[in-house]
Chains A and B, each alone.
Chain A
């Protein structure tokens, strides 16, 4: 297809703007990675920190040598994997019937789901619920409450609705149950949306800190982000407020390099995991594009 000059200019400007957008998103991470690999002297210099002029692995040694962080890593991984798998499974089971127009009381159920998404009773009843179910201090307290969210259900439901009905019809005629249709037909065709929802869920679990702070009292089961907050707040003004002059812990000053290294260590697995999902993504999109 021959492009007009106007279209060529447009394409060029498009590329430029997108490249700029890409660089802007990249910079803060470059900065952090650079600081994490810098020596203390280099980290303190006021510069753009695009790359470390003096390299040192001391910060990483400190971070990885902290047993709490390694433990927290495992906990966060467990929570993320378990949470994502459960969420995907349950969301699909919920979204499929809702995508069928013939489901009795369909509108009502959807409204109920939205209603619950909008209203929040506050952390007191949520805490009491978890406590009464005996889930305190366990990974289930982090995974079960977030399993079903209206947003996920609706996204998957909408995707299911775009899958042609004829596929399900023909299966039904041959005697397949609804469950079979869901697992054998709909889910395999929904890999792009499942990958997306799965990714969101995984990221949410990886980054969650508030619920772990509430429900996990055992240090050995704590998750990464809550621990991170502790590292960052180590020498904070909150300590002063409690009323001891020396308590701001001037002797435990967390250097910027260590903070930066902790950050990098925290996000590394996601960065490694993401390219795989993206590949799946593209394949899924192609697959999903197959029409009858």
Chain B
């Protein structure tokens, strides 16, 4: 066959298939620009039952679509929900395709400001003026302004607001260290390590003095989390630095990872690595975190990464303590507060108050009453603690109960995973923003009475918000060039690992800082400092009295 024949054939085929399959797809009703909605003229009639498709937080992939919570809320608000349950990979892979086909859920959720920015850029998101939120959800805004005002930046894009920021009450509490008490006892340590030196001694003994007594040198001190937010973070915190975050220094924003304190911390880690205290697997991150598995299987004696009061709750059948006790009844776990840093105070990384962003589909420009209704819904959760509790825990007596010794707990069969998540119930998430319908927290004072007895006091000792250090802007990816962050973070982790492992000398740090700046770091910092001014303007608009200092940053 001739090449002309081929060409003709290919072109014909492509044209035919395009005609058949794809021309009807180009959404003709796509309004690329911002559609101005006359919000003053919008009325939401409470007697009208509205259908709202709800793609809220991606933590309930196995959720059922007829849970008690959903039916209860539908009744209260006169809404028919169409819940869309996803997990994180689906959120990343399928949701953009859904959008491209024109199927945008009425309400969407994203955890990272960068993802929201991308959606706004592609034209999927409805603009949400500040006045609208202030008018219909005043209590909500009051709480947001008080506890997580930095989140206002998360929904901001090119000078306008595009969504409802959320905040979490429990994220001001630092994570807790977990120690194997039986190991500590075996190597002769009676007090949970508090200072860097004590920490070092403990790790050294865990590695070299056979704490599990089996005669084999198969234990390590610790295996740090490979994820950038937790990567040796307890050590870096002792040096008062957040290596993968923006920090305030003398009124300007700098990057923690290129600060001199980070270098000092790396020097220490390098030395400790040479003493063979760390499980070498820490570099091999994958889908399932290796650290937790190693801790629970008795390979490492210290864990830092995601522990809280609930992890040590022996009444909880899914807690790490219960799981480990089942494996070996001799296991004893004891919590440890953040290490005392070089300045004599304790420090720890926290996310702080600001949470995520919930936004509305641009198609709601034709149905703006749905927006008003949702604002009323979140206002109701903020103003009405009982409703909030119901939306998180279900019906008292059926799904949950409160007792003097245990505090709040789920009743069988809902306490066994996966029944809890399938019914959208979660105890340990009571103090954060992971509710499917109530995707935002309420003040701690409202949830505190439900906590188990002794938990507040316990937290004072082991998890004090005063130690918390948070990112100067809440999350680094609120800046326009946030897309470079992924590359910069991976690069930094790689270099840090190389320095710690000894593949590269400590002096390489200066070279790294230079390269980091050139690869986009300088642009990032410039934009971040601009965001500070922008944030002040926002604060004045929404009624935050003064730009708050992020908690406990020196």
Cβ-defined contact, B328 with A41, below 8 A: yes
Does B351 touch A at the CB level, under 8 Å?
yes
Interface residues of A in 119-136 (CB under 8 A from B): 123-125, 127-129, 131-133
Cβ-defined contact, B84 with A235, below 8 A: no
Does A219 touch B at the CB level, under 8 Å?
yes
Interface residues of B in 385-421 (CB under 8 A from A): 417-418, 421
CB distance from B179 to the nearest CB of A (A): 15
Select B100's contact among A108, A111, A127, beta carbons within 8 Å: A127
Does B307 touch A at the CB level, under 8 Å?
yes
Cβ-defined contact, A66 with B418, below 8 A: yes
Does A13 touch B at the CB level, under 8 Å?
no
Smallest Cβ-Cβ distance to B25: which chain A residue:
A128
Select B97's contact among A40, A133, A214, beta carbons within 8 Å: A214
Give Cα A112 to B305, complex, Å: 54
Cβ-defined contact, A46 with B100, below 8 A: no
Question: Which residues does chain A contribute within 8 Å of B421, judged by CB atoms?
Answer: 252
Given contacts A245-B175, A252-B318, contact A236 B292 (CB under 8 A): no
Give Cα A210 to B9, complex, Å: 32
Which 9 A/B pairs are nearest by Cβ-Cβ distance? A242-B111, A44-B297, A237-B227, A248-B306, A127-B97, A251-B318, A40-B327, A131-B101, A41-B327
Question: Which residues does chain A contribute within 8 Å of B64, judged by CB atoms?
Answer: 219
Cβ-defined contact, A243 with B356, below 8 A: yes
Select A248's contact among B1, B289, B432, beta carbons within 8 Å: B289
Interface residues on A, range: 35 or more
Contact with A along B47-77 (1 / 0, CB 8 A): 0000000000011011110000000000000
Cβ-defined contact, A230 with B87, below 8 A: yes
Cβ-defined contact, B323 with A233, below 8 A: no
Question: Which residues does chain B contribute within 8 Å of A107, judged by CB atoms?
Answer: 1
Interface residues of B in 221-246 (CB under 8 A from A): 225-227, 229-230
Question: Which residues does chain B contribute within 8 Å of A217, judged by CB atoms?
Answer: 84, 94
Interface residues of B in 1-38 (CB under 8 A from A): 1, 5-6, 9-10, 13, 21-22, 24-25
Smallest Cβ-Cβ distance to A229: which chain B residue:
B89
Name which of A105, A124, A230, A239 has the most chain B CB atoms within 10 A of its CB: A239
Question: Which residues does chain B contribute within 8 Å of A232, judged by CB atoms?
Answer: 287-288
Select B323's contact among A40, A229, A241, beta carbons within 8 Å: A40
Cβ-defined contact, A251 with B316, below 8 A: yes
Cβ-defined contact, A240 with B229, below 8 A: yes
Given contacts A230-B61, A245-B350, contact A239 B22 (CB under 8 A): no
CB distance from A169 to the nearest CB of B (A): 27
A-B contact pairs, 12 of them (CB 8 A): A108-B5, A108-B9, A123-B97, A229-B287, A232-B288, A236-B288, A242-B111, A245-B350, A246-B308, A246-B428, A246-B432, A247-B434
Cβ-defined contact, A105 with B1, below 8 A: yes
Does B475 touch A at the CB level, under 8 Å?
yes
Name which of B87, B319, B351 has the most chain A CB atoms within 10 A of its CB: B87
Select A125's contact among B22, B84, B288, B310, beta carbons within 8 Å: B22
Interface residues of B in 310-355 (CB under 8 A from A): 310-311, 316, 318-320, 323, 326-328, 350-351, 355
Does A290 touch B at the CB level, under 8 Å?
no
Interface residues of B in 198-240 (CB under 8 A from A): 218, 225-227, 229-230
CB distance from B171 to the nearest CB of A (A): 5
Question: Which residues does chain A contribute within 8 Å of B355, judged by CB atoms?
Answer: 243-244
Does B93 touch A at the CB level, under 8 Å?
yes
Question: Which residues does chain A contribute within 8 Å of B307, judged by CB atoms?
Answer: 250
Cβ-defined contact, A236 with B287, below 8 A: yes
Question: Which residues does chain A contribute within 8 Å of B6, judged by CB atoms?
Answer: 108, 111
Question: Which residues does chain A contribute within 8 Å of B305, judged by CB atoms?
Answer: 248
Does A12 touch B at the CB level, under 8 Å?
no
Give Cα A239 to B225, complex, Å: 13
CB distance from A186 to the nearest CB of B (A): 26
Smallest Cβ-Cβ distance to B87: which chain A residue:
A230
Cβ-defined contact, B285 with A237, below 8 A: yes
Given contacts A233-B288, A235-B289, A250-B292, contact A240 B227 (CB under 8 A): yes
Smallest Cβ-Cβ distance to A105: which chain B residue:
B1
Question: Which residues does chain A contribute within 8 Å of B433, judged by CB atoms?
Answer: 244
Smallest Cβ-Cβ distance to B175: which chain A residue:
A245
Name which of B225, B226, B316, B327 has the most chain A CB atoms within 10 A of its CB: B327
Give Cα A129 to B13, complex, Å: 16
Does A28 touch B at the CB level, under 8 Å?
no
CB distance from B255 to the nearest CB of A (A): 18
Smallest Cβ-Cβ distance to B318: which chain A residue:
A251
Given contacts A240-B230, A245-B306, contact A128 B432 (CB under 8 A): no
Cβ-defined contact, B9 with A112, below 8 A: yes
Cβ-defined contact, A108 with B1, below 8 A: yes
Does B122 touch A at the CB level, under 8 Å?
no
CB distance from B333 to the nearest CB of A (A): 12
Given contacts A237-B227, A243-B475, A246-B306, contact A214 B93 (CB under 8 A): yes
Does B429 touch A at the CB level, under 8 Å?
yes
Question: Which residues does chain B contribute within 8 Å of A132, judged by CB atoms?
Answer: 21-22, 24-25
Does B514 touch A at the CB level, under 8 Å?
no
